[in-house]
Homo-oligomer: A and B are copies of this chain.
Amino acid sequence: MSQPVDSAVSAVRTYIENHRAAFLDDLVEWLRIPSVSAQPEHAADVRSSADWLAAKLKETGFPTAEVWETPGAPAVFADWPSDDPEAPTVLVYGHHDVQPAARTDGWDTEPFEPVIRGNRLHARGAADDKGQVFFHTLGVRAHLAATGRTTPAVHLKILVEGEEESGSPHFRDLVEEHADRLAADAVIVSDTGMWDEDTPTVCTGMRGLAECEIELHGPDQDIHSGAFGGAVPNPATAAARLIAALHDEHARVAIPGFYEGVVELTDRERELFAELPFEEERWLRTARSTATHGEAGYTTLERLWSRPTAEVNGMGSGYQGSGSKTIIPSSALVKLSFRLVAGQDPDRIEKAVRAWAADQVPAGIRCEITFGPATRPCLTPLDHPALQSVVRAMGRAFEQPVLFTRVGGSGPAADLQDVLGAPVLFLGISVPSDGWHAPNEKVELDLLVKGVETSAHLWGELAGSGQETP
């Protein structure tokens, strides 16, 4: 690492510099499409986003670029074979749908009117995930320009789904349906991030996700809290007691069986995590929080990357307007999500949650639980050769040592691993301050360009032809 800039690196940089402005114009155009998969009123926008991307991939040079239908939102698939028939096949994964966003959520500007301020591009999807999908388009062009090739050094495929922010309900079916065309020797998941602006890292695992909505029903309409208060069960209280029972006094999830099968950290993994320049005060600023809180016996990074969680994403009951309304509410709603780690199975978690909730809810309260589609956790071995290729490509772009992380978020990477039988690697240049799912989401433009450079180097590295010559 820290080698002098070689000629390939410099050729890649020159090409990127010359095409950066057009690349950003294109990305801004894509970000203007509010492809919110969770909101039915944006279904047409999600489709426009897919059409836009397919056309752009064709323009980039992919001989094949198609919109793939699902029972929900469409995905995009593109394929660019190498002229070397012996080249390995690599599948890039990303998503073109985004989280809901509204100016009134606390955005300084309209979330779907991208704004560049200094080194930052602000828009919903700038980092999660359009920016990180899109850097591969300029990356592959720079790869060809710098190497003089007319096709990539690997058989390059890309699959960009449209329902990741809704839990990828049809993704596994899609992958199974098209397993032949998606077949690959390695999968590059381009939907994660790195440690921070100054510390390039490669991610080795993602947590999984199980989500549910719990409705608690009490009186069959709102009733007067004076006339009836103190003598019938209140579903808001029952909901609160259920949430309170999620964790024990050590902030461990108290659902019986929840930790069954969890792969514990090894001492070596704990040492590697501890090598990262973690500063709690700085991290808390990124988390917009004033104190850490979590499972006893684990550091903050260990809690985030290697431990499963139970979090309340939303709850509601009764009167939430101005003033007061002296009622016992008829019902209460709780939205929970569980981050899962290697060794946990979403089906087993669902069973455990249902059994636990049934035990907690008092007489007179009826409980309905609906689980959404789940995402499985995954982990990549640290010594995998393809993982080492990603580390080298990133090292050439950043000219710095590359460390290892995991990510607390979730993606359908495990489905790709399961169905395609290929190792899953993670490449991302987003940083924690980018504000995924939050108001004022952004991407750092310098890092976006490093992502382009990493992509440009990666295909040669994965083909075994990317070793720099000093």
Binding site for B on A (CB under 8 A): 38-40, 99-100, 105-106, 166-167, 207, 209, 211, 213, 218-234, 236-237, 239-247, 284, 287-295, 300, 303-304, 307-309, 311-330, 332-333, 335, 337, 339, 362-364, 366, 372, 407-410, 432, 435-439
Contacts and interface: CB of A to CB of B under 8 A. Distances in A.
B337 A324 contact: yes
Given A226-B209, A335-B318, A38 B236 contact: no
Nearest to A241: B244
Given A166-B324, A316-B317, 7 more contacts: A166-B323, A223-B289, A227-B432, A232-B294, A311-B328, A313-B327, A324-B337
A240 B315 contact: yes
12 contacts: A38-B322, A219-B289, A226-B409, A228-B289, A233-B293, A237-B247, A288-B330, A291-B363, A292-B364, A313-B318, A318-B335, A326-B410
Contacts of A219: 287-289
A220 B288 contact: yes
A247 to B, nearest CB: 7
**4 A-B pairs with the lowest CB-CB distances in the bound complex, closest first:** A291-B364, A226-B409, A240-B243, A314-B318
A241 B247 CA distance: 10
Contacts of A231: 287, 292-294, 300, 303-304
Contacts of A332: 315
Interface core residue of A228, A292, A337, A363 (most chain B CB under 10 Å): A228
Number of copies: 2
Contacts of A372: 324
A438 B228 CA distance: 12
Contacts of A293: 231-233, 362-364
